[in-house]
Chain A
Amino acid sequence: MNKIGGAVAGFFRGIGNFFGEFFAAVAKGDWAVKLSLLVWGAGYAKRRQYVKATIMTALEVGLILFSVCFASQYVPKFGTLGTVQMAQEFNIETMQMEFNDYDHSFLILLFSLFSFVVWAVGLVVWMRNTVACYRLQQAAEAGKHINTFKEDCREYLGDKFHITLLTLPIIGIVIFTVIPILLLIFVAFTNYDQQHMPPSALFTWVGFENFKSLFSSGGMTVTFGYAFVRVLGWTLVWAFFATFTTYFGGILMSLLLNSKKTRAPRLWRTLLVITIAVPQFVSLLLVRNFFSNGGIVNTLCARIGLTGWLRSIGLISTSYIPFLTAPGWAHVMIILINIWIGVPYQMLIATGILMNLPSDQLESARVDGANKFQTFRYITMPYMLQVTAPTLVTDFVKNINNFNVIYLLTDGVYTTTNQLMANSQAKEVDLLVTWLFNLTQNYYNYKMAAVIGIVVFIVCAVFTLVAFNFLIRGDKEGVYQ
């Protein structure tokens, strides 16, 4: 836990330093620094950095224009998310039906959020700018050289090169990851669903209502709690089995292939890798038809009498084996099919790691008379675990969100017979992510999808933090530098 504590402490210390510098600059700065609180370019102008002064002042004007012309339309309505419902009115001048000047809840939410982010960035720039002006003053007072604009620019290819490199990727991440995540968190506290779809209807804040309906199972109509527990349970069971079956399967497979007894190991490896070189939407859709109720596997099973035998012992009641259409069967099949698709991947990784296994250890174990199983148990496995523990953790998280396998195998094929599940638009084989996907794509239930999204994140985050702090110790970055 020290690592987290250290990180948190470091984080707050960083923020503290940041504000400290700013207030020191304001207190000790001369009139130009103080003026630059109002006119961003003032500090630079005094030191004859006119280009920089112009750019900063232009930025400031841009921010003000943005606030006045754009943000002011949306942010004041953020508290209610709009009050004017869309309606048609008869316009006496044009003699036509026209829409009134209605509020669009979603745009209000999105653009308010966008404004908040812009303002937050603006605030940081403003404070940094003041500090920079103060540093300039200090440099000038100490009689140091003041950079010309050209020299400043050259710094962005030299000491400040990281800023040049990181700007674009970070803008991309902010717009396409950070803002969407914030938006999602906000939507979880609204009643944005099919009955409240902008632009024809408004949605508004409802507090923790959605969380309550997810975690409570009472009531005849509210069944989200019922479905949620089952879907979450299956998600965890799936992630556990999917991770460990493919992990150990991959290690065993790679030991098998890399054994001295194997003839033509490259050929076998290539054959296995073909299965993962085919894109999943082809291979999984194919396998789904392979195992369909009237599919080829069912025909063969019926021919060799397996179907009849299963029926006679009461495992199935239909004239076919419901590989992907009945609960239980589908769960097992999904895990088996995932082994088919996942083991070659893990085999590749395990092969790469086993190649680096220190051979002197194996040799000394052999001299000491260890048998194969003991070598595997006490030398190979600990080494593998040590090297792959981080990937094991990320694999588990990836499997919690393994959309492809579940969706491609069951969408349109599996229909639930459990009415309580169906009421919440869930299926027994759904993971949290596929449930969420269906809720948004087919039922427009964005509020519940957002809540489920937050739950998925919490599950992943807690698991990762715990796993990383207890399984993996130490930061090895420095060792290699």
Chain B
Amino acid sequence: MKDKRLGSIVSHNVLIAVLCIIWLIPIVWLVCMSFSAASNMNTSTFFPQEWSTKYYVQLFHSDTVNQFKAWFMNTFKIAVFTCIICTCFTLMVAYATSFGKFKARKPLMNVAVMLNLFPGVLTMIAVYFTLRTFGLTNSHIGLILVYSASSGLGYLICKGFFDTVPRALCEAARLDGCNEARIFAQIVIPTSRPIIVYTIISSFLTPWMDFVFAKMILNAGISENYTVAVGLYKMLDKSLINSYFTVFCCGGILVSIPIAVLFFIMQKFYVEGITAGAVKG
């Protein structure tokens, strides 16, 4: 009996290990390839034939194709501004829809649901026309606007959290003569630290993870203005892939590390936020 149980535990854990290995193969390959001594993709063996770190060095020496340092700074700059605007907008809308008692509240929320059904890519084309009319394509301001202007629509998770903030607390404050603005700033915000951390990190990550909008807005511009996503994508162009594949892997790893760290911090809040939002519909 005991042997049987032990056997089942071992097989159970072996199964998990096998799944994890399958899931990690491409990532391991990415790490291995970034330490390859050849510039092109290694197609004959899984591990590189010779190991070297020289492409990490090359990554930081800009040339006509590779401007990794500039891309990284661009993305960072865009991410900071996007993060500030998105966080403010999301919290503002979430507070108004959760605590507000005005007539247009429900209709506005229904309109938001409808608008969310239009995929971002789709409105993007029209936004692109508009930005081009004002000369904002190939500029970072245009991209920041695209990421953050409509962020008020993503208020649902945050509202789900605000709905759980005890109303008695706010009532007491109101009796003491607090106005809504003070309740928002001094009661609701301090008690909502988890959701604020989640909102900040997730909006900071948007420009790092996004590819479509960056490509659309910055595509025709000069290499120096790209974000990491567009820059790395261009490295895998058919004419460049043989000389830049390893550099791409190095860049991919370096950009993934900070993102992964933030992602792990956010992960906890992500689960809480999604499930809270799900329960509350």
Contact = CB atoms under 8 A, between A and B. Distances in A.
B169 interface: no
Contact of A169 (B92, B110, B123, B252): B92
Contact of B267 (A294, A296, A348): A348
A65 interface: no
Q: How large is the interface on B (under 10, 10 to 19, 20 to 34, 35 or more residues)?
A: 35 or more
Contact of B181 (A157, A257, A349): A157
Contact of B117 (A352, A412, A457, A477): A457
Nearest to B5: A261
Given A180-B127, A296-B29, A401-B119, 15 more contacts: A157-B179, A165-B92, A176-B127, A176-B145, A180-B126, A181-B115, A268-B16, A282-B30, A286-B30, A289-B41, A295-B41, A436-B125, A440-B125, A456-B119, A464-B117
Given A407-B212, A433-B119, A177 B29 contact: no
6 contacts: A165-B96, A278-B260, A281-B232, A387-B279, A460-B117, A461-B117
A391 B263 contact: no
A172 B151 CA distance: 8
B208 interface: yes
A259 B92 contact: no
B43 A404 contact: no
B64 interface: no
Nearest to A279: B209
A166 B12 CA distance: 52
Contact of A480 (B26, B110, B164, B236): B164
Contact of B280 (A183, A340, A344, A480): A480
Interface stretch (A6-14, A54-62, A225-233, A238-246): A6-14
Given A403-B121, A436-B122, A437-B121, A278 B256 contact: yes
A477 B129 contact: no
Contacts of B181: 157-158, 161, 164
A176 B27 contact: no
A440 B100 CA distance: 41
Interface in A162-220: 162, 164-166, 168-170, 172-173, 175-181, 183-184, 187
Contacts of A441: 216, 219
Q: How large is the interface on A (under 10, 10 to 19, 20 to 34, 35 or more residues)?
A: 35 or more
A177 B118 contact: yes
B281 A472 contact: yes
A272 interface: yes
B96 A162 contact: yes
A285 to B, nearest CB: 6
B103 A253 contact: no
B129 A279 contact: no
Nearest to B126: A180
Interface string A337-362: 00010001000110111001000000
Interface in B75-108: 89, 92-93, 95-96, 100, 102-108
A109 to B, nearest CB: 9
Nearest to A298: B43
Interface string B251-281: 0100110011001100100111011001111
Interface in B165-210: 167, 179-182, 184, 208-209
A480 B121 contact: no
A237 interface: no
Interface of B: 8-9, 12-13, 15-17, 19-20, 23-24, 26-27, 29-30, 41-46, 89, 92-93, 95-96, 100, 102-108, 110, 113-115, 117-130, 133, 145-146, 148-153, 163-164, 167, 179-182, 184, 208-209, 211-212, 216, 219, 229, 232-233, 236-238, 241, 245, 248-249, 252, 255-256, 259-260, 263-264, 267, 270-272, 274-275, 278-281
B267 A273 contact: yes
Contacts of A256: 12, 15-16, 19
B121 A433 contact: yes
Contacts of B96: 161-162, 165-166
Contacts, number: 284
A453 interface: yes
Given A165-B95, A281-B229, A172 B256 contact: no
B13 A261 contact: yes
Given A161-B184, A176-B146, A275-B27, A299 B43 contact: yes
Contact of A401 (B121, B128, B219): B121
Nearest to A439: B125
Interface in A264-295: 268, 270-283, 285-287, 289-290, 294-295
A437 B212 CA distance: 9
B117 A391 contact: no
A176 B280 contact: no
B281 A475 contact: yes
B173 to A, nearest CB: 12
A380 B115 CA distance: 34
Given A261-B12, A296-B42, A388 B278 contact: yes
Contacts of B106: 10
B121 A263 contact: no
A390 interface: yes
Contacts of B279: 387, 476
Interface in A1-35: 7, 10-11, 14
A176 B150 contact: yes
Contact of B43 (A177, A294, A351): A294
B129 A106 contact: yes
Nearest to B166: A481
Contact of A460 (B119, B216, B281): B119
Contact of A278 (B13, B151, B212, B259): B259
Contact of B130 (A180, A340, A436, A476): A180
B133 A181 contact: no
Nearest to B205: A279
A382 to B, nearest CB: 15
B232 A177 contact: no
A397 B275 contact: no
A286 to B, nearest CB: 5
A271 B28 CA distance: 11
A418 interface: no
Contact of B121 (A172, A262, A436, A481): A436
Q: Which 8 A-B pairs have the closest CB atoms?
A: A169-B152, A180-B126, A161-B180, A352-B271, A401-B119, A277-B260, A162-B100, A282-B252
